[in-house]
Structure 1
């Protein structure tokens, strides 16, 4: 079986130079959302009244209904049952984004789309991270000079993996071109090292045996990530086992999905242990040449990127062969930002942080900033519904949330997990039968590196129907007054009486205490059945039948 490098086009001439709750002694800053009518002073007073919590500083923004406080202790827990509080969130910081001075960087639209500058504010890479480029070889051009390790050529069976095609070098420079050095382009991981493994010949093709050997070699040489910008329509046992070998040894495997514009699987990308990468446009659409599938294609990445070829010139490098190195570069940033994370955690972060791009790709378009954040600072979680309300709820309640960088979101009540979701949109159905009064529900998001973040909301429940102890009737010659005696812990909404007089029904309603209703009899004589129905604020009902 022979595979070819997956490139759509090389175009010259258009590039020109020019964590958990902090201890009580460790202050934290949070922002508190307030319901209309609530005041910052009330929230601060509630915090100060909570044992173990002390407000050090506060700054209200009344126009936004919020107050930011610096506290010791757990502010979120202290305000979890407060109906005047809509959210309690850690207050993040922002800083100017790092923009490299490489002259061709302004043309690198893909870096902006995946939010690489924000990721570079955290890390620009590490020489401790090695990316193996299993391809046509790699030539140590200026963008990666000094960071290309000794490798191997499995096509010619020698120790000179120089690139005699250009494809592998361009993949390597998309991954690791030096950034902010005043020349050429900026790769994703500016300081990571490249392990060159030549498995494709000068014509851009190679056999499964050489590719499999190259993958195993990369693993045994200590590669952290393997980029496979190659593929074909048929799989083989040896190639599948090589990918499994890499994943089993804790290596992130990234592979191009192919450029035929079809849903037919391409290998090795379609192997479950590989991250299959499609090519996306500047607006997160699919390039018509990119293969796609909501089942076997995992993520998308910009599919048209400037790169340096083996002759030192710069070209537009187009295809899923160009998209896969973007993902490999983001994986390298993730490993650089957080030492000790596993390949599985890196993959989970890439997929969890991906932005929705449509049904043509499983997880979405990659996001470098969100990937790094998912590995270093954990996920974010916020309630979407239901809102905090003084109106009680009953029966089935739907809870929805927004989360970023999460691989799992759990819904917790009374210390027990009552629901788990593993993919957006995050949604839970809660059977509230038996719940009465205020109960705190907590959403807990878990990130790929094990970080957790929680958001709590106090909800009012009422699953008990009103109690009608008696109904008093007072009669005159022209009217009957109906006075029910009703109790409900959280209040009534309406009382209704339905009187059946022959073929006619008369409905009386009352919406305020003492729930008195009057029926004008209009001279009618006889005995008439009456059904009194009490409805509480949650919608629970109770009936009481009498006769007039």
Structure 2
């Protein structure tokens, strides 16, 4: 599905994931859907992960009468399915989605790319290709936000493409330590301190594919990432002239120090109120 006649000027976020279910909470804001796995034309999500991520980012809470409302409920969605029903994918499909964004981001007013997807890699070339891909998006001015991955909390557990030094990498503030600690930690393989920032990711309620139920809880850095992406969308709704580097520095300046190492917490815990006030 592509709404080629789309002429809206609002903020659009590209969500690379398992797809999206046309949940009540998204209204008519799914402005484009592309399936790089099975080439289906209409929005669907045979796993549920992508729908959950989208709900955190921009669900409007209609099905819950506002109880489970996303961060940026007016944000538009470009849903790019790069993972299959098991949540698995390959480098080639992700790279094809990157190329699609480069071609169409102006047409659909895509400013943010949310990647709640991370992978270990068989070879250094696989990781390098993903990193080059997200950095090309970043260099075009897009704000790329990626998960730190759930292979932590041991050092050097950041997954690709979150291991890119340029993009914004998000860990989970409540999944950093103890028996539930899974949030990926730095340094990266080339000694870059990561993540950049951490946000809540444990037991987050959000949208699920219907029709029998509307919401469920999931945990992980995948859930933390759209919290940050949604806040960035709100920021851009106020000022669309902000650059990706300005957004990144605002995240740094507004974070709350948790007293942990730079390779655990990054700049600190995401403070949405302070970030939006800058």
**In which range does the TM-score fall when normalised by the shorter chain?**
0.7 to 0.9
Displacement after TM superposition at 1:154 (Å): 0.5
SS in 2 for 1:206: coil
Correspondence 1:300 to 2:198? yes
2: CA distance, partners of 1:271 / 1:135: 19
1: CA distance, partners of 2:232 / 2:199: 12
Q: Which residue of 1 aligns with 2:150?
A: 259
2: CA distance, partners of 1:371 / 1:343: 14
Per-residue CA deviations over 1:403-426 (Å, capped at 9, x if unaligned) read xxxxxxxxxxxxxxxxxxxxxxxx
Displacement after TM superposition at 1:219 (Å): 3.7
Residues 133 and 197 of structure 1 are in contact (CA less than 8 Å); yes or no, is this contact kept in structure 2? yes
Match of 2:41 among 148, 159, 162: 159
**Mapping 1:248-287, distance limit 5 Å:** 248-261=139-152, 262-264=154-156, 265-281=158-174, 287=180
Residues 19 and 35 of structure 2 are in contact (CA less than 8 Å); yes or no, is this contact kept in structure 1? yes
2: CA distance, partners of 1:351 / 1:219: 27
Give the 3 Å change call, closer, same or farther, for CA 160–239 of structure 1 in structure 2: farther
Displacement after TM superposition at 1:367 (Å): 1.2
Correspondence 1:190 to 2:94? no
Unaligned runs of 5+ in 2: 1-7, 188-192
Displacement after TM superposition at 1:274 (Å): 2.0
Displacement after TM superposition at 1:215 (Å): 2.3
Match of 2:129 among 238, 246, 249: 238
2: CA distance, partners of 1:213 / 1:139: 21
2: CA distance, partners of 1:179 / 1:347: 28
**Mapping 1:117-516, distance limit 5 Å:** 128-179=10-61, 182-222=65-105, 223-234=110-121, 235-261=126-152, 262-264=154-156, 265-281=158-174, 287-293=180-186, 295-304=193-202, 305-311=204-210, 312-357=213-258, 358-359=260-261, 360-374=264-278
2: CA distance, partners of 1:238 / 1:368: 32
Superposition TM-score, scaled by structure 2 size:
0.83
SS in 1 for 2:265: coil
1: CA distance, partners of 2:82 / 2:239: 31
Residues 293 and 361 of structure 1 are in contact (CA less than 8 Å); yes or no, is this contact kept in structure 2? no
Give the 3 Å change call, closer, same or farther, for CA 326–228 of structure 1 in structure 2: same
SS in 2 for 1:200: coil
Per-residue CA deviations over 1:23-74 (Å, capped at 9, x if unaligned) read xxxxxxxxxxxxxxxxxxxxxxxxxxxxxxxxxxxxxxxxxxxxxxxxxxxx
For the aligned residue pairs, the C-alpha RMSD in angstroms reads 2.2
SS in 1 for 2:245: helix
2: CA distance, partners of 1:144 / 1:176: 7
Q: Which residue of 1 aligns with 2:190?
A: none
SS in 2 for 1:231: coil
1: CA distance, partners of 2:99 / 2:254: 29
Superposition TM-score, scaled by structure 1 size:
0.43
Residues 127 and 192 of structure 1 are in contact (CA less than 8 Å); yes or no, is this contact kept in structure 2? no
| Relative contact order higher in (CA < 8 Å, ≥ 6 apart) | 2
SS in 1 for 2:89: strand
Displacement after TM superposition at 1:183 (Å): 4.1
Give the 3 Å change call, closer, same or farther, for CA 288–306 of structure 1 in structure 2: same
1: CA distance, partners of 2:214 / 2:226: 19
2: CA distance, partners of 1:178 / 1:226: 20
1: CA distance, partners of 2:42 / 2:98: 17
Unaligned runs of 5+ in 1: 1-125, 375-548
